[in-house]
């Protein structure tokens, strides 16, 4: 069982469908690790255990997950779609520009509607072009949008940064997307 498979499974239950294994998440997204280990289904035939779980959290390139200081709980730091989670993120002034990676096939709709969070709670933005490229490539031919984030902030939009440095905003009106 690869760490990638475990990470995908954890993302699924900790961000999207905790109810599938009857896992309770609190408002900040925390789940009890012993409940998770007890209830998680075998991943490619292998049962998750604490050592595997802690290794995935530590090695995860995007630092998607976090263990509580007392070692008893785990959460996904961002990317939730489940409405039981309503995290309080650190509100921050963004840099002048941030990137959003998307797929070419979404561009005409984005040019009409701006960026919307779709299934997730926020639109995700990044400081890194490489990250934006990888994010966009998940849905097809990648296309990078540059967002005038400081202008947005000065117009009253609130920006948040998750513990793994992903930037979050509720939406991006089309007016703030740079024309290329």
Residue whose CB is nearest to ligand HQG in the complex, by number: 102
> Which CB, 39 or 120, lies closer to ligand HQG?
120
Q: How far apart are CA 16 and CA 14, in angstroms?
A: 6
**Radius of gyration in angstroms for the set of CA atoms belonging to the chain, rounded to a whole number:** 17
- Distance of closest approach, residue 77 Cβ to ligand HQG, in angstroms: 9
Which of these, 155, 169, 84, 156, lies nearest to 126 by C-alpha position? Answer: 169
Binding-site ranges for ligand HQG (CB under 6 A): 11, 62, 64, 79, 102-103, 106, 109-110, 113, 115-116, 118-120, 124, 135, 139, 166
> Which CB, 48 or 162, lies closer to ligand HQG?
162
- Distance of closest approach, residue 166 Cβ to ligand HQG, in angstroms: 5
> Which CB, 13 or 166, lies closer to ligand HQG?
166
> Which CB, 72 or 92, lies closer to ligand HQG?
92
> Which CB, 96 or 116, lies closer to ligand HQG?
116
- Distance of closest approach, residue 126 Cβ to ligand HQG, in angstroms: 7
Query: Are the CB atoms for 118 and 171 separated by under 8 Å?
Result: no
Q: How far apart are CA 122 and CA 161, in angstroms?
A: 11
- Distance of closest approach, residue 137 Cβ to ligand HQG, in angstroms: 10
């Amino acid at each position: 069982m690869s760490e990638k498979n475990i990470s995908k499974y954890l993302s699924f239950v900790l961000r999207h469908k905790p109810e599938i294994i009857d896992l309770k998440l609190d408002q900040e997204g925390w789940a009890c690790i012993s409940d998770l280990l007890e209830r998680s289904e075998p991943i490619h035939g292998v049962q998750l255990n604490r050592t595997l779980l802690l290794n995935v959290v530590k090695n995860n390139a995007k630092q998607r997950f976090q263990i509580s200081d007392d070692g008893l709980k785990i959460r996904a730091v961002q990317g939730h779609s489940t409405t039981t989670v309503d995290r309080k993120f650190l509100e921050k002034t963004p840099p002048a520009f941030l990137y959003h990676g998307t797929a070419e096939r979404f561009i005409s709709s984005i040019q009409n509607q701006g960026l919307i969070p779709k299934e997730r709670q926020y639109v995700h933005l990044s400081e890194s072009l490489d990250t934006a490229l990888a994010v966009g490539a998940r849905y097809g031919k990648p296309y990078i949008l540059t967002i005038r984030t400081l202008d947005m902030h000065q117009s009253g939009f609130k920006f948040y940064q998750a513990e793994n440095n992903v930037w979050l905003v509720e939406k991006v009106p089309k007016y703030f997307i740079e024309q290329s």
